[in-house]
């Protein structure tokens, strides 16, 4: 979190969070850390000042994608994009900037959703 705060202070363009790598190395819960970084970067946001983008990477499941769907960018591997396209669609719901998105692993009161103004949708 300290690195994210320093990146914001230094005027960084983006902060990339390697969710899966964090979990595989035993460094903690990557989803929780990505959400905390998002809040550190976006809280107290002044519209006149650039705020670093949050890029969530190293996602390994649809649950990861759902839980972080409101990040500025998600780096989703092709395998998961195909799974999203072929999924029954019960995981995702429409979101507004005010309500954000809650994934299946973010239903705790103390873990507010990451706000989002859009939703990726596969319709054929």
Spell out the domains of the chain, with CATH numbers in brackets: 1-124 (3.20.20.70)
Distance of alpha carbon 92 from alpha carbon 67, whole angstroms: 10
pTM of the model: 0.69
Beta strand pairing status for 73-74 and 14-18?
Answer: unpaired
Distance of alpha carbon 78 from alpha carbon 90, whole angstroms: 20
| Pick from 77, 68, 82: nearest CA to 114 | 68
**Average pLDDT for residues 26-54, to the nearest whole number?**
86
Higher pLDDT, 33 or 108: 33
Query: What is the per-residue pLDDT across 54-106, written as a single tens digit (0 to 9) for each?
Result: 999 999 999 999 899 888 899 999 899 888 878 776 555 444 444 444 444 44
Kindly provide the b/e burial profile for residues 7-44, where b requires at least 16 CB atoms within 10 angstroms of the residue's own CB.
bbeeebeebebbbbebbeeeeeebbebbbbbbebbeee
């Amino acid at each position: 979190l300290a690195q994210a705060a320093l990146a914001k202070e230094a005027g960084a363009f983006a902060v990339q969070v390697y969710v899966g790598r964090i979990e595989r190395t035993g460094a903690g819960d990557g989803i929780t850390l990505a959400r905390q970084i998002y809040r550190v970067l976006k809280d107290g946001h002044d519209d006149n000042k650039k705020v670093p983008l949050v890029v969530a990477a190293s996602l390994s499941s649809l649950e990861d994608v759902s839980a972080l769907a409101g990040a500025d960018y998600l780096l989703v591997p092709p395998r998961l994009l195909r799974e999203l396209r072929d999924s029954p669609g019960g995981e995702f719901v429409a979101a507004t900037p005010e309500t954000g998105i809650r994934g299946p692993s973010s239903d705790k009161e103390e873990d507010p959703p990451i706000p989002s103004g859009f939703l990726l949708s596969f319709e054929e």
